[in-house]
Structures are given as C-alpha cells and as structure tokens.
Structure 1
Amino acid sequence: MKSYKLIFAIVLILTVKNSIAQVANNSNLFIELKKADSLIFNEGFNKCNYTALKKVLHKDLEFFHDQNGTQNLEQFYKSFTNSICSNRNFKPFRKLVNETLKVFPLKNNGEIYGAIQTGKHIFYIKEPNKELYATEQGKFIHTWVLENGQWKVKRIVSYEHKPPTKEYGTKFNANYAYKLFDNDKEIEKLLKKHKIPSIAIGLIKNGSLQQIRTFGNRKSNQPISNNSIYKVASLTKPITAFVVLKLIDEGSWSLDEPVSKYFIDEDIKHSKYLDKLTTRHILSHQSGFPNWRHLTNDKKLSFQFEPGTKWQYSGEGFEYLRKAIEKKIRRPFEVIAQEKLFNPIGMNNTNFYWSNKINEKQYAVEHDENGKPIKHEKYTVANASANLLTTAEDYSKFLVYVLNGAGLSEKNYAQFLKVQAHEKVGIHWSLGMQMLTNLPNNETAFMHTGGDYGTKTIALILKNSKDGLVLFSNSENGMVLWQKIISEYFGEVGEEIVRRNLE
C-alpha cells in the first residue's frame, strides 16, 4: 500500500502547500486529461468499449479501491469484461461531477511528464423497466504519465465510497432516457430563478423527432404550448441556406458563380471585389461585408476585405443573396421557401414575416432580463438573416430533414458537411451553420444561435449520432438555461460544445 499513501501525499502537497499548481479548466492539459478520463469511464465503464479503454491504461497500472482491494492491469481489465459489462440487464454507469475535477501538473526541469487528476463521481444502475437510480458516490485520484505523446493512467485510487446524497439523486441522462432532468419541477425552478418566462425544447434522437416539451408562459399566466410561435432571430440563416442549397441542387442557382451577375447594390457598384463575391462566400460568412451597414460609421455597405480571404459574420450577406435570387427567379423568397422547404416537410407554422395566417394568441412575447414583457415589432417583409417566426416542432422537423440529407444530391450535401471557413480554434463554418469538429467520441456538431433583445434560441445537431436539440426561449436570460440543457442531453459532447462557445 505504499503507492497508495504516496499518491495521497502528492495530492496533499499540491493542494495545501502549492495550490497554485492547479491548472485552469480551460487549459489544454485539463481538457486533454478530461478526455482521457472519458475513455476510462464514458467509453470503457459506461459503454464497454474495450478498444478505447486499452488506449489509456498503462502496462504497469496499479488500481487501489477502498472496498475491493488492489488490481494490476490484467485484473483491472478483466473486471470490466467479466463483471461490469457481463450483464446488460443490471448495468452500472458512472457520471463525473464536473465542477469537482482538478488537475495538477507534474514537472521535471520545467517539462510536464505527468499529472495528478482528482474529482468526485456518482455511480448508477440501470435495470429493465426501471428508472436509472444512483447507488453510491466516491472520490478518485488518477496519476497520469505522458509517454510518446500519449497520456496513460498509471495509478488509480478510488476511495470514500458511500451512499449518494440527495443532491445527486438520479440526475443522469442515458441515451435511452428522454427526460431532461429528474423531474419537470427542476426546469420550472430554473425558469423562476433566472426570470425566464418559457422554454420550448425539441429532442431529436437517431435522426427522428422524439419529443417536444414546453415549460412556462408565452406571456403572463398564458402557458406555452407545442404550437407557440417564437421569433428566432438568426436561426433564420440555416433555413435560408437550405432553401438556396435546394435551388443549387435543381440547377436554378450556382454555389460559385459571381452573385453580381444578378444583383449589384449601389453602395458597392464600383468595388474591385464586386465580381469575386459568390454564394459560397456568403453562406460561410466570408463575404467581406459587415454584419449590418447601419452599424458602420457611414451607414453604407462596403467590402471590408476580399471575399473568401477570412471569416466575418454578416447578416448583410444573406440579405444580399436573397435580393439576387429574387431578381433572377422573379419570385419572392418566402414563396420559394414555402415551395422548396416548408411545405414538403410540414413546417406549417413557419413564416418569414407577420401575416393574417399567424395566430397572435400563440406568440411567445419577448421578455427583458427582469422578466418584463417587451413590445414586439411585427415585421411585414422577408429578411433572409432574421425575424423568422416558427415553433420548436417545426424547427425540429427542419433539423431532422438536414440530418437525413435534406433531399439533396450526395455532391451538394457533402458541401454542407464540409468545413468552409474558420472562425477560431475549434469552431468552423459550413454552409449556413457553425461547425464544431473533433468533439469527444469523434463527433461533429452543426449549430446556430439566434438572439435579439428578449429572445434567445439555439439549434444543434450531431452528425454521427444523429441526435439534436432545439431550444427556444422568450427571454433575454435564455442562454443561462441552454448550457445546462445541452450538457444534460449530450453529456461530455455537450460540455465540450458549451466550453468552446464560452471561450
């Protein structure tokens, strides 16, 4: 047991006498070791993925458990195959308590050769026809060593196991459980705490819409429903992008043809970049335009750089594209959208602007940060960048359509799946949506947010699992709840998505 005591001594020194050695949770070291931890537990323990587990186990592994004694590598590996993963009708699961995770680097002559990782975790059991239930909580200490550029866990100490506290209960979301939290009261509590009137949630699993859930009120004492209409701001842009991709697929439009062939704005008619602007540049936010011309000093549209040379978010680009398409095809963009997208997939409650078709009694009125309603403006003309009016169910149908190929040819769908532009480290853009690659489990996410004062929305899909989420909130504070929900539904993948977008 000397090694066991040595590890405790190291941690004690680090945490008490030299707490400055702890690394930040957004550091590369912290992130790398959190991913390594997930190979042991999320992949190995939870999913019985032996290949992933083997990648991180050191050949001289020592495992110390305060109730079950010690194990070497061979014994540790056998416990997974013969015990943990042998009975799928009585399957244990482990969930990390994220806020407890800490990492302390180990150095030699200034070079990192290893690290100590500490934290708490909760263990659950899944039985047939029963809710997932917690069985115990405990603490762990991992000693990691860096060998040939690969992190290997050399010593694991699992200790202080005891019954779970009420705090943890059954808060765990496995893939087969379509519950957001342990009960609906928790969501209602969070809405009240953050002065958020409502949230509408669309859940997509395995490429199909599984569930629409709504909580709170569209306005005072008037409950939200599945038919409630939200103004989703910039979530308009992915809709526009796929309408355009449908036109490209049928040969009515081109991805790489100069847009100037069909439309030229007076403000840029003499620009040297005029004929370089293409639809690909616009849909991937490489147009060179500002977000909106009215936000510039002279209130005029201009190229701020050559199209295609770098990334810059632009609503003006999408509006420019709408005008060009309307001029060539000679039909209003909203009519084209109804024909190519809304009608075929049953988006019956989606419109680009207010009309007599919209039932105002179903509108989720925007609210400020104090939970007070805001007078909303009724836009009566289409904007390809903003102001789309839709329901969580309709937008979820759209995401399902996208996940399943959107009825596009393989060639054109591949253009959507491709990285077109780089925003910053870890965040790219495809055609019309933000793209996050190299997520845990080799996952790729496509997402977009929408935010005007008093409304916050997000749409998110995962390429490999074909899971997705739609979150609409009629509140300036809506983003507070996004982070919690995304992490709950998508686990480690969701946590990484949230982290990258908060950096």
Structure 2
Amino acid sequence: MHYFSWLLLLLPVTSWGSETTDFETQMAQVDHTFFQRAFNECDFEYLRQHISADLVFYHDQGGVQNAETFLQNTKNNICSNPKVKPLRELIPGSLASFPLYKNGQIYGAIQHGDHAFYLRSDDGTKVLTSTAKFTHTWLLNQGSWQLAQALSYDHQSPDADETALLKVMNEAGVTALGIGVITNGRVESTQVLGTLDGKVPAPENTLFKVASLTKPIVTLVTLKLVHAGKLSLDEPLSDYWLDPDVKNDAQAHLLTPRILLSHESGFDNWRRMSKTGKLTFNYVPGEGFGYSGEGFEYLRMALENKFEMPIEQLAQNYVFEPAGMIDTHFWWNDQVDNKRYALNFDEHGKPYPLNKYYEANAAANLITTIGDYTLFMQYILQQQQLMPELYGLMIAKKRKLSQQHYFSLGWEILANLHEGEDAILHTGKDPGVNALTLFFPKSKNGYVLLMNGDNSMPVMEQVLPTLYLGSQLWSRR
C-alpha cells in the first residue's frame, strides 16, 4: 500500500488573534492541529472544511492532485486501515512561517519545514517510514486559515538517509559517528554509525575521546558540590591550591570556582602557550575572558586537595552514578577496552598514533560512549528540578562575547534562536576528535555528536539539519 505524505494544514475555524498574537506561534499551531486532526485522527469533516476548493497539491511521488483527489487519496491511502495507521510528526525546529500582506493586512502565509512519517501498529509500536520537505501556501477565508497550495518533496527513506551520511563520512575521513538525541528532557535515541578503524564495525558502546567535553562533567561536579553545601562558588581556592608558577602573585588569591568555571582566570589556554612557558595572569581574575584549560586544571587541583579525593571519584559520586553512566573514564585504566575505541583520523583520513594517557585532566581527554554522554545531558536537564538556582546560573548569559553569543558557568550560549530558544552548548576538538553537545532549556531538547576525525564540517552539514534547530545552528557556525 502506498501512503501519500500529502501535506498540510489549516487551523480550525479560529480567527486571527489579537495584535499581540505571535505569528509564528499561531502558524505552528495551525500546522499541529491540522495534521493531528486530519492526518493522524482522520477527521474528514474537519479536513474538508479546511482546504480550499481550489487546492493544488504537488507530490514528488504521487503527481498533482486537486481538492477532491486529495481527499479521496487521503481516505484510501492514509485512513483505510486503522490497525496499521500512518502518522505524521513535524521535525522539531524545522518549521518557518512567513506572512503575506495586502494593504498592510495579513491575507495569507507561506510555511516550509521537514516532517517524518511513521506506521503505527495496533500494539502501539511505530516505525519510521520516510522523511520529507514541505512548502504550503495558506489563505485567510472569513477568519479561518485554509490550505490553498501544498508541495511535498524530497522524500527519503531512513536507509537512504543513513547511506548518504555514511558516504559523506567516508569522503571526510570520519569513520565513526555517535548521535544521541534528547526530547523533552529524556533520552530518545542513541546510535553509532561507521567503523572503528575503517574496517571493524563500530558497536553501540564504541568508546570515543571527547576532548573538551570533559569540562561540562567537571562543571557539574563542582555545582553539585556547591548544592550539597560543601563548596562555595566564591570561596578563594588558594586555601587548597597554589600553583608553583603563581604562588607569589597576589592575584592567585582572587581565584574562585565561579571565576574558573567562567573562563575568567586570566590564564592562557595552556601555560606552554605563554611567552615564558609558565602559568601567568594576562589580566586580573574576574575582569576579562579567556578560554582556559589551565583554569579547569587549577580547579581540579583545588577540589582534589579540599576533599582529599581524586576527580574521578568525585565525578563518580556526584555525576556518573546518579546519571547512570557506567562507561566513562578520565584516563586509560584497565576498564577502557581497546577493542571498542574509535581510532582518530586526520583530515586526509590517515590514522593518528594511539596516544594513551594515565592521569586525569579536568579540561580534556575524557573517554566515553554516546550512550553515557547522552545520559549525562539528560542529567543536566534534570538539574532544573534538582538544583534550580544553580541550574539558572549555568544557563544565564553571564558574559557577552559578541552579538547573541555569551558564556555562562562552564557553557557557551547561542541566544535567540527560533522558537524562543537559547542553545547551551560545548564543543570538543583535539587531533582526530570533534564533538558537540548542547541542550535547549525551553523545550528540554538536546543532542550529542561524537566523531573520530578532523574533517567534521561535511558531516555536521549533513547531520545538523535533521536535528532540533540544527539548520539555524549551522547557519551561525
């Protein structure tokens, strides 16, 4: 049976709202209500009332249809078998709406976006069958939105999407890709594509090195200690640690957890980058911004001394165990399985030598799986209820870096995306390592991308548009 992914919309007989009604919000409701009632619930009376008598529907597989043909095909192909029912879901973050004006008054709208189609069996299970793009023209008719023209195109099967992605990965020299998706605060899916080394298939529990994605772990450990009343964000860390390079500099006594988490220490990223090769202050701590791995290492030393416990154990107690993470490691201990590690590749697809390390670093070198790190991101979102005040500080726009670009406690922020969202994110990059993790506080959506190659941009370009607000993130790259 062929299921036409016909397309779209029209809100019930609700009139255009007050001047304060947000256009995009109302048009998103138009999309949701029409598909839910007409496509998912097969309400034919509703459908007939909310399409134009002059509807023209263009389908890249089903040809051109007028209003009557469209209604008949919907009845025969979409709603003929309630035991195996096609469902439509808008791909979050893909919908864009544009008003049409005449003499200063809105008379219509154009929408475009992406959506996914599923088959739901009578046991409640559903299987993805295809994704597609759509463009619709809406007209206001006596205060009600009616669908006047619809285009449904670029239908892709899940297998086709994966085949295209694997081809891009191969061309980019990225052999393994982990993708974790969170929807409404809960892990929706995790998967690993590709191979560990160009030959051996990558298992679901592939181990990735994630570089600076270590820092969000240490950030949350610190905030959980604060929440437990065992640490203050503003206590001087000189009581617990003074680096030999700065022990005689009075500015070292200004360093606090808040300053270090906010990358306001005054340190270079790494001391080897300074002219002297030693740790020095480039500005008074707290009065500037400079991304610094040294700052996180300084924090680690202070925490370990204060609590007489290594960062690995602190992380286990305050993050790994409560989040359900069982396969994340700060260094190559005997639990790191070489046979599951995704080797790292340069931009030409040549492998880097495997470099094992045997000491923890608070700023880099974490080894984890896509399953574990996605659980970590789920746990991050749970902090909205578990420690709301500190969660609020973590997503606050503490320091402005540029237009719509900020830094908070341990996280970067891209502000004012579609849907009223801010993206709270962190990246990780080392030779042969590219990683991205982010979440959206409003929707509680998020995702994690882990790759084992230098040439990540072609892969990002392929993957991001399939994820929540990913197209807009890509445009801001």
Shared fold (TM-score greater than 0.5)?
Answer: yes
- Determine the structure 2 residue equivalent to 1:377: 355
- Determine the structure 2 residue equivalent to 1:494: 470
Closer, same or farther: CA 484–267 of 1 in aligned 2, 3 Å? same
Q: CA deviation at 1:124?
A: 8.2
Q: CA deviation at 1:252?
A: 2.0
Q: Once the two structures are superposed, what CA deviation does each residue of 1:43-95 show, in whole Å capped at 9, x if it has no partner?
A: 5435679xxxxxxxxxxxxxxx99549xxxxxxxxxxxxxxxxx9x9988889
Q: CA deviation at 1:484?
A: 3.1
Question: 2: distance between equivalents of 1:465 and 1:186?
Answer: 29
- Determine the structure 1 residue equivalent to 2:410: 432
Alignment of 1:150-169 (within 5 A): 164=152, 168-169=154-155
- Determine the structure 2 residue equivalent to 1:456: 434
Determine whether 1:235 maps to 2:213: yes
SS in structure 2 of the partner of residue 252 of structure 1: coil
Q: CA deviation at 1:430?
A: 2.2
- Determine the structure 2 residue equivalent to 1:330: 308
Q: TM-score, normalised by structure 1?
A: 0.69
Q: CA deviation at 1:42?
A: 4.4
- Determine the structure 1 residue equivalent to 2:379: 401
Question: 2: distance between equivalents of 1:276 and 1:475?
Answer: 39
Name the aligned partner's letter for residue 169 of structure 1.
H
Bigger Cα displacement from structure 2, 347-356 vs 419-428: 419-428
Q: CA deviation at 1:494?
A: 2.1
Name the aligned partner's letter for residue 452 of structure 1.
D
- Determine the structure 1 residue equivalent to 2:231: 253
SS in structure 2 of the partner of residue 251 of structure 1: coil
Question: 1: distance between equivalents of 2:331 and 2:175?
Answer: 23
The structure, 1 or 2, with the larger RCO (C-alpha pairs under 8 Å, 6+ apart) is 2
Question: 1: distance between equivalents of 2:335 and 2:132?
Answer: 53
Question: 2: distance between equivalents of 1:266 and 1:475?
Answer: 36
Q: CA deviation at 1:394?
A: 0.6
Question: 2: distance between equivalents of 1:455 and 1:294?
Answer: 21
Closer, same or farther: CA 122–448 of 1 in aligned 2, 3 Å? closer
Q: CA deviation at 1:288?
A: 1.5
Q: Once the two structures are superposed, what CA deviation does each residue of 1:216-236 show, in whole Å capped at 9, x if it has no partner?
A: 111131111121111100000
SS in structure 2 of the partner of residue 353 of structure 1: coil
Name the aligned partner's letter for residue 293 of structure 1.
R
Gaps of 5+ in 2: 1-21, 36-51, 57-78, 80-84, 99-108, 140-145
| Cα contact 2:263–2:295 (8 A) shared by 1 | yes
| Cα contact 2:178–2:191 (8 A) shared by 1 | yes
Size of the aligned set, in residue pairs, is: 406
Q: CA deviation at 1:406?
A: 7.5
Closer, same or farther: CA 356–405 of 1 in aligned 2, 3 Å? same
Q: CA deviation at 1:376?
A: 2.0
Gaps of 5+ in 1: 1-35, 50-64, 70-86, 103-116, 143-155, 172-178
Question: 1: distance between equivalents of 2:29 and 2:269?
Answer: 42
* Among 178, 183, 191, the residue aligned to 1:205: 183
Q: Once the two structures are superposed, what CA deviation does each residue of 1:113-157 show, in whole Å capped at 9, x if it has no partner?
A: xxxx99987898888668576899668799xxxxxxxxxxxxx99
Name the aligned partner's letter for residue 320 of structure 2.
F
Question: 2: distance between equivalents of 1:279 and 1:461?
Answer: 23
Q: CA deviation at 1:414?
A: 2.7
Question: 2: distance between equivalents of 1:422 and 1:307?
Answer: 17
| Cα contact 2:110–2:135 (8 A) shared by 1 | no
- Determine the structure 2 residue equivalent to 1:267: 245
- Determine the structure 1 residue equivalent to 2:452: 474
Q: CA deviation at 1:344?
A: 2.8
| Cα contact 1:202–1:471 (8 A) shared by 2 | yes
Alignment of 1:20-169 (within 5 A): 42=28, 44-46=30-32, 67-68=54-55, 164=152, 168-169=154-155
Name the aligned partner's letter for residue 170 of structure 2.
K
Determine whether 1:421 maps to 2:399: yes
| Cα contact 1:311–1:422 (8 A) shared by 2 | no
Q: CA deviation at 1:40?
A: 7.0
- Determine the structure 1 residue equivalent to 2:168: 190
Q: TM-score, normalised by structure 2?
A: 0.73
| Cα contact 2:395–2:411 (8 A) shared by 1 | no
* Among 297, 300, 318, the residue aligned to 2:296: 318
Alignment of 1:351-390 (within 5 A): 351-390=329-368
CA RMSD of aligned residues (A): 4.2
Question: 1: distance between equivalents of 2:29 and 2:266?
Answer: 43
| Cα contact 1:138–1:158 (8 A) shared by 2 | no
| Cα contact 2:192–2:206 (8 A) shared by 1 | no
Q: Once the two structures are superposed, what CA deviation does each residue of 1:199-219 show, in whole Å capped at 9, x if it has no partner?
A: 011121222222221111111
Question: 2: distance between equivalents of 1:95 and 1:358?
Answer: 37
Name the aligned partner's letter for residue 239 of structure 1.
I
Question: 2: distance between equivalents of 1:196 and 1:37?
Answer: 41
Q: CA deviation at 1:319?
A: 0.3
Name the aligned partner's letter for residue 190 of structure 2.
I
| Cα contact 1:353–1:381 (8 A) shared by 2 | yes
Closer, same or farther: CA 92–355 of 1 in aligned 2, 3 Å? closer
Question: 2: distance between equivalents of 1:285 and 1:324?
Answer: 16
Closer, same or farther: CA 286–251 of 1 in aligned 2, 3 Å? same
Question: 1: distance between equivalents of 2:396 and 2:197?
Answer: 41
Q: CA deviation at 1:425?
A: 1.6
SS in structure 1 of the partner of residue 193 of structure 2: strand
Identity between Structure 1 and Structure 2 (%) = 32
Q: CA deviation at 1:260?
A: 1.8
Closer, same or farther: CA 239–95 of 1 in aligned 2, 3 Å? closer
